[in-house]
Structure 1
């Protein structure tokens, strides 16, 4: 019976899935140079070794013993003769999760220590559980901008101490509050350096304190009256420019733990209140401050002493120290700088932004809301991950994101609710006793993972050094012969010194060239390489390699930072380059936003190698690239106004390369574009290029300028009038042509008439009438 058309299509589809889908998911062993079982195991996660005696055919290389398990079984290797090391996982320390907080150290993450022994390339997965302890202590450090514009806010904060403690006590019974203040560096152009202005930067009739960068006012205390007293003693100060030194203050509050009074077991919060933006790394050059921030504590008498000696910290430096010290910032800012601090929050893990009212009266409610958002979001990540190791997190919770390599996230987690994460670890190279830590952001608890690899074979070979399989001249090692001294060959069948036949000698020639490249002797069909003048050995199947002819740097082989292997430098850890001439570093490739070459190149030898079109030193500018205002027009149109050629697949075509928002007006000046869309309307938008080649953030004006639609009545009336006018015009033209033609014929007739001569004689054909009849009634009139 013939198949109908639908059945035929289904059969073809299943056939394609079987050929392409199933085969691609099969295990593959990518073999390179295999001389032993250990070489095989290190070649890939699916490579296994057959130790079965006489498994290889006559003349076949022993490397044929290395393949996937399915292939070896198919070729006749017994299952119990296959060597395939497995992953081993052991839990070293696993204290149970704490139910509630007590004076002892609570446990919020379990297990605490795990030991892994992995085969390179083969993943293993284990589970990590987390439960936020109810009543866990909270340390809140209130860091306030005391520039003149915050005068009204300071007066209100002096009265909010009671409300702040009440809010924290509703969260935990173990709350502490500290207080600090900041303005900006006391140097031009940030602050007026006139001596009088430094002592009193405000108006004469205004009570204020001397200019300062950052001052620590109150260490962590559970006493409400002490907090109120210290805050009441504070007065406003002043400076010149609008951005403030908030990053300086946050850095010192993070690294000066002993002075601030952070407890070891607590949730640490910094509440930053301000109405202005912030200076960051590089801005110090305006005042001639060139020394980078060293991320150390420099506090004497509660004042930051390096304010005018060190530059502001970068956002990356601050984010790293906040994460290292388990501090979660809450940015309580006014509406005018909300956008700026939301962008900052994206670069600082576990941070929140809230909008202050004009007089900061809502700060208590803002802190409560931000704390609830921070505490309900659990983010698990890792530190000090060894090279060639990959970790992927899969959250096991109701509100979870997709599996991610760098971190796992569970949201809307309540206090006392237990959640878990599946952690998948893969090592891609051999290593011994490496370790890294897994921890929730903002939480002290950690899991230490000790990692080593299983790169060798345990074949349980017989100890007989005169095994019959090796002609009694060697022992068996994982199925192949390890010959005694003086014997060589696959089965130790050749004695050193015996001359082989010409066929054996031919196997020692590469491309019919000199035997063993002239650097060794052919013994039993294999090359035994000579030593070089320096005493090292040539090596390789044909003695083609030596370890003395590699690139030099500063007259040193491999720069003195590596070893030469067959003409190629193998660099020591921490060095790279063709001659190991460079230290592994990305410092010269780091950009102001703490990326490497803006994601448009790779860092080699501490220099950016940019992708086509992008220019050094940091791949920021592209020469010859298309104008993004034009190339992104279709995406802007579909994202902003749901129209244009990408309308049907806008999310697929555009959402990965453009992050957009609709605005009423532009704020920060940048690259502004004005383009005409498919409907003839003018669209105005602003583009900021983010990290990567094709990655933009767009601000799109909500309104677009479109031409007014034409009047239908005018068009119809105009059309009818035009048709009538053209018709009349055509009729007149036809009438004119006919008149011209008649006039021409008439004139021709007139001319012919003038030329004619009439004959005066009678017509000879004419004859008179023969009969004449008279009408009697005719009167002649």
Structure 2
């Protein structure tokens, strides 16, 4: 009997080890403080911890997946992840000074949830006489627990560097050695050997926004407790704070200052608390202790609030990742600016809001087209000939060397597109039969488009 029990114990131990190996997430120790008494304690206990603001939740502190499994509505889950917002991204409209270093963007605001990194691309345009080498980045003094690292995305000029910022943990509540425990801190990132720098305004997300709003004698707490972040507290007064500093009774408790309008003019004072006005559109609302905030009074772009790429919080657009400007209309992605030579805007312009601003005389979506530059017609003549007529020097290599070019045949020169900013007309001689080919060339993101007259011009006269 003892032998059988031992064998069974060994089997169970092996099964547990096998499950731990196959499903490591099962074996991972739960780090969220499920016994947290408030939202602040919860989010500070680990980067994966979230808080449920729905009233009467038995375990409001858990992982995001844990709260979802427990039935907490998505709109009631508080799970800050931080954000990056571009504050300043200036660029000259004139051709860049050959001796100047250009950094883009120049200033950013970062909110960090400890344990959750934030990153952004930094574009560095080097002076033309500067040899292109590995760039070393220096930073001004960084607060303890804050880590900034750099990784190269694209070499060349301009150089694109990925900047990653991460905070280790929230400071202890008992640590009063530094009053500025959660920021904001100003950190400057400077390419070694240059004076220009990028300013980072960094602050930590260690406090829950919902802790600022509370409801005393809340019906959700049977009229006897204070509702804070969805949980009832029957022991302390949370909501008075600064309001008790006003000596006047009544409406004065509903003013943000001695001479401020009651409830910011957007609500009414009921029992010393602001009840914000309702909007005709139920999705629009006023909020805040004095109804000072709204989720609709923000800039619009393309008839969409915050351009459809952010949320309106207290009259200010909070842009989604990779979007910036006060109306979130500017994309920070650079893929649409990448030329066929894998340089941003072909090294002939600046990528702004996902579009190239080309230096004259270069044009086109990626600054690869130059109608006035010598050699455009000659550069594509052999591919046009082999694709359109099956002749010429590249006729045996046409598929491999000319796949970037698309050819359309037309009957006469009048059927070709009009020449313009991105289209040029060409007349090139074929060495094979000494006849002239008439065609147009237009630069496209995938390479080029050529419209070719189907009959060659074999007369000795040149096309005037």
What TM-score do you get using the length of structure 2 for normalisation? Answer: 0.40
Instruction: Answer 1 or 2: which has greater strand percent.
Output: 2
Instruction: Answer 1 or 2: which has greater helix percent.
Output: 1
> Which of these two proteins has the greater Rg computed from alpha carbons?
1
What TM-score do you get using the length of structure 1 for normalisation? Answer: 0.25
